[in-house]
Amino acid sequence: MFNLILFGPPGSGKGTQSDRLVEKYGLVHLSTGNLLRSEIAEKTPLGIEAKNFIDKGQLVPDEVVIGMIDNSLEQHRDAKGFLFDGFPRTANQAKALDKLLELKRTTIHNVLALEVSEEELVKRLLERGKTSGRSDDTDEAVIRNRFSVYQNETAPVADHYKAQHKFKAIPGEGSVEEISAALSEQIDKTLDRQQQEAFE
């Protein structure tokens, strides 16, 4: 199995790059943002609760998103691997994910972090807000709040994976193709290593 976390602040391009990587490597894409938005669209109790947090730029409670990920892992028992996008977003979520994967006798192999300046991020998010219909992308105050949540709660997730020697930063400014190539280079290294180990 090969499991990847695509890490980075709101607007860093995780969604765009995820689409390309799941296609190229045959991974199952697990985006907590997308899962939450579909719960909201279907007006489920979970969606209705989550919307209150999302509209303010706050995080949805850990137990809610961890439960969603647990369900998704169960639904795709025969997956070749998973690409986690927008999860884990807190140190608690990271610890919970480690445990869930351990139960499935697997682990996270790579954490690739897209690095983009805050100025560029705000520009991209406001631009996306014009067409995405996402209420959290139209208000600059909500966007700024998401950055401060990212700094305070999500940045520590990087340390969790640095300690496991799985973390690698990738420049997230440039063309979509250049960034995909840089991500693929890291993934290919890990896959080559996995193959070698399988022969040893």
Point out which residues bind ligand ADP (CB under 6 A): 10-11, 32-33, 36, 53-54, 57-60, 65, 86-87, 89, 93, 136, 146
| Active-site option among 95, 128, 166, 168 | 128
| Active-site option among 20, 56, 104, 134 | 134
Q: How far is the CB of 16 from ligand ADP (least distance, A)?
A: 11
Q: How far is the CB of 109 from ligand ADP (least distance, A)?
A: 19
DSSP 81-135: -EEEES---SHHHHHHHHHHHHHTT----EEEEEE--HHHHHHHHHHHHHHH--G
Q: How many other CB atoms are there within 10 angstroms of residue 152's CB atom?
A: 10
Q: Is 71 helix (H, G, I), strand (E, B) or coil?
A: helix
* 14 part of the active site: yes
Alpha helices in the chain (DSSP H): 14-25, 32-41, 45-56, 62-75, 91-103, 118-132, 140-149, 155-162, 176-199
* 134 part of the active site: yes
Strand 110-115 vs strand 82-85: parallel, antiparallel, or unpaired?
unpaired
CA distances from 163 to 2, 115, 157 (A): 19, 19, 10
* 128 part of the active site: yes
Nearer to ligand ADP, 13 or 81 (CB): 13
Asked whether the beta carbons of 60 and 93 are under 8 A apart, the reply is no
Q: How far is the CB of 188 from ligand ADP (least distance, A)?
A: 26
Q: How far is the CB of 130 from ligand ADP (least distance, A)?
A: 15
Catalytic residues, which ones? 14, 89, 128, 134, 146
